[in-house]
Structure formats: C-alpha cells, structure tokens
C-alpha cells in the first residue's frame, strides 16, 4: 500500500487514463463481473447463500499484487494504480448494494 501511495503521489495526474475511461472501466468491473458470476453460478446450480457469496466476491476490488507486478515489469502501472485505488474506494458501497 505504501508503494502504491508513493507512486500515485509522484504522478502528475491522479487519474492517468482520463475520467471517462476510468469511469467506464469501473462500471465494467463492478457491473459485468458480478453479472457474469451470477449467470455462471446459476448455471452450475448455486442457490441461496452460496449464490450471494459468489456475487459479492465478484464485486470485491482487485488487490495490490497486480500493481506490484505492473510496476516491476513497467506495464502501465499508472493506469493500474488508478484502478486499484478507485476500485477500493467504491467497492464498499457497491458490495453493500450487492449484499
């Protein structure tokens, strides 16, 4: 987390990829991910609490490890850092909505 915060503090812009792209990717991440998980879970026969758990897990944000690998291999760490931070910020309200 410290490395991610330090990296973002040194960036000239907080949202490196632009507002519209960031909003689109967050919508795709938090809407289609749980929808695909719900469809797949229903297809394999999950019902009740297990179905709810699967959908909530699909709505959780990505972790820090993908950012560490992106920074290590220099594969768009500025864009991934935006996704990690803003994903964490909006994950709690969205997870509560799905629950």
pLDDT band at 37 (very low <50, low <70, confident <90, very high): very high
pTM for the structure as a whole: 0.69
pLDDT of residue 43: 97
Average pLDDT across the chain, whole number: 84
Q: To 10 degrees, what angle do helices 2-9 and 65-73 make?
A: 50
How far is it, in rounded angstroms, from Cα 75 to Cα 72? Answer: 8
pLDDT in tens, 43-74: 999 999 999 999 988 888 877 888 888 888 98
């Amino acid at each position: 987390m410290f490395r991610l915060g330090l990296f973002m503090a040194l960036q000239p812009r907080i949202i490196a990829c632009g507002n519209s792209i960031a909003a689109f990717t967050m919508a795709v991440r938090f809407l289609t991910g749980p929808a695909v998980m719900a469809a797949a879970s229903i297809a394999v026969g999950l019902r009740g609490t297990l179905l709810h758990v699967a959908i909530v897990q699909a709505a959780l944000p990505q972790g820090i490890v993908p950012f560490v690998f992106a920074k290590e291999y220099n594969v768009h760490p500025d864009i991934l850092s935006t996704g990690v931070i803003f994903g964490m910020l909006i994950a709690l309200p969205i997870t509560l909505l799905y629950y």
